[in-house]
Structure 1
């Protein structure tokens, strides 16, 4: 293991080494090509190529260099590690709020996700992010432990205008909270009166707040006190499949909301 760690350190200490190996694992390059692509001096590039040849990570070909089979193996593994660490760095500030036990996909699927957190000037930035999706989506599905006032308003307005269809499944506690709020009660009542929206309630727990707006999946993340801490959204196919399958599972164990339940 010590030898392997030394090789990892050898690569990690030089972005130029990583860049050269990455390019040579993709296809052959001339020394001039590598110098232009990396910005490395000829002296630095010469040392890198010699070091790689000594390790049998690259071989000379007519006009340049290319990675060997083991060089490709090293490049793939190291670049995968870099990608994982980049994802981890993005998720580190919010990982404590991610319901990881409920996520049926590899966290690497968040590679291209957008993370939105509140700030002093934009405390509602995570909510605004999901509202932006809702304002343009033709089809919306939600499964959640709570109703978001802003989301409910936009959904009700767009469904009433014939601009979107909506299906939502919520926990019983979310419905009880609506019954205690006159404004939310009115909007939800208006929503379930339309033919383009169906809302169901589930007695079991729904430990997530997920919106599927057309091809995008958006999650609102809260802390143990229910305070909004961040949102994550992605159009990754695996995350989208997970969200749709999870929605269907909750949907099948829920009942349509009775308008009488909204009376206070």
Structure 2
């Protein structure tokens, strides 16, 4: 990508430059950690010699990296670009799975920051483990000290863990359940 006539690239062009190449991101992230010689960068990033030469040349042209003899290191602008791009990637982490989660949220009157789902893992049942979601929830509940639950169904194992934690005083619980689930909880016979 060549410089425009005024010598300044747009922010979108800079983002596109990095986003189009995982190799560029890896090299920049590696150099942010510490200055390195080219062969060390090649080893750490597993980027081919020719590709690495192009990347480092592009970074030097943009003022993101400097070379002192044989060592490359990021400039303050390079540090800034790496941090901001990494933050942007983290904010976009939940995007690929959001559609299958958001369809369960009410459209109106529900103010929820979807960014809270960054790093979230979607657990699905499978033929070999039909109870995977319930097992995952109960395992997480056992180590939690504060929980908010919204449910349209009654999951006995989940309710048992919540009940035990609140009775023992190790869990602070806020829960919203569907009326039918609440009726089911009230009629569920206690275990032995």
Global fold match (TM > 0.5): yes
Using the alignment, how far apart are the partners of 2:177 and 2:122 within structure 1?
29
Cα distance, 1:34 vs structure 2: 0.4
Aligned residues: CA RMSD: 3.6
Q: Does residue 78 of structure 2 align to residue 51 of structure 1?
A: no
- Per mean C-alpha deviation after superposition, the further-off stretch among 4-13 and 36-45 is 4-13
Which one has the bigger strand percentage?
Answer: 1
Change (3 A) 1:183 1:14: same
Alpha-carbon contact 1:140-1:164 (below 8 Å) kept: no
Cα–Cα, structure 1 residues 99 and 37, in superposed 2: closer, same or farther, change >3 Å? farther
Separation in structure 1 between the aligned mates of residue 63 and residue 171 of structure 2, nearest angstrom:
58
> What is the number of equivalent residue pairs in this alignment?
180
1:89 lines up with 2:96 in the alignment = yes
Q: Which residue of 2 aligns with 1:38?
A: 45
Q: 1:140 to 1:76 in 2, by over 3 A?
A: closer
Gaps of 5+ in 2: 1-7
TM-score for the superposition, normalised by structure 1: 0.54
Q: 1:54 to 1:163 in 2, by over 3 A?
A: same
Equivalent residue number for residue 8 of structure 1: 15
More relative contact order in 1 or in 2 (CA 8 Å, sep 6+)? 1
Q: Return the match for 2:71 from 64, 67, 91.
A: 64
Give SS of 2:122's match: strand
1:148 aligns with 2:151: no
Conserved 8 A contact 2:65-2:73: yes
Change (3 A) 1:64 1:102: same
In the TM superposition, what whole-angstrom CA distance separates every residue of 1:92-119 from its partner, at most 9, and x where no partner exists?
322222469343xx54343333321234
Identify unmatched segments of 5+ residues in structure 1. 191-264
Residues in 2 aligned to 1:138 and 1:83: alpha-carbon distance in whole angstroms: 24
TM-score normalised over the length of structure 2: 0.70
Partner of 1:128: 135
CA distance, structure 1, for counterparts of residue 136 and residue 182 of structure 2: 23
